[in-house]
Amino acid sequence: MTSRFRADDVYLDDLAGDVLAVCPSCGGCVHAIRTERGRRRAACGGCGWHGVWGPEDEGLPLWLTTDVGGHELWAYNAAHLDLVEAFVGATLRERGDHDPAMPRPLVDKLPGWLKQAKNRDAVLAGVARLRRRLP
């Protein structure tokens, strides 16, 4: 059975509204929510830490990261992880209708090592590790 992935115009910014990050105080998982002014607000339910930062600030390290064959696999949240898993797991990848005047969609910008069929099993194992980390 062939699994199929049809690329839509999904951009990384579309998935960045709620980013899972590492709490700088206790190391737990926090939700870094984008506000209407482009800033991020986060609070930790474990230790009570909270913070706000702007786009010019570095922010917090991502919660969903793992090593896959010497490469870092990362995702912002469950929706981002779902997209990567669907793309990598598909044996047939179709391009959607993309307006060339627009920036390239997320799947076009994925690194080459992640797109290679020979890495499929390792990447999917990495996705499974990240899925177990979801809060």
pLDDT value for 59? 86
pTM for the model: 0.89
pLDDT value for 1? 46
- Tell me which residue range forms the domain holding 29: 4-133
DSSP three-state, residue 14: helix
CA 73 to CA 110: how far, in whole Å?
A: 10
Q: What's the structural domain count of the chain?
A: 1
CB distance 41 to 33 below 8 Å: yes
Cα 84 from chain centre: 8
φ and ψ at residue 23, rounded to 5 degrees: -65, 130
Q: What type of residue sits at position 1? A: M
CA 122 to CA 127: how far, in whole Å?
A: 9
Per-residue pLDDT of the chain (135 residues; tens, 9 = 90+): 458 888 777 888 999 999 999 999 999 999 999 998 889 999 999 999 999 998 777 889 999 999 999 999 999 999 999 999 999 999 888 776 767 777 778 888 899 999 999 999 999 999 999 999 999
pLDDT value for 2? 55
Helix ranges restricted to H, 1-135? 78-89, 106-109, 112-115, 120-133
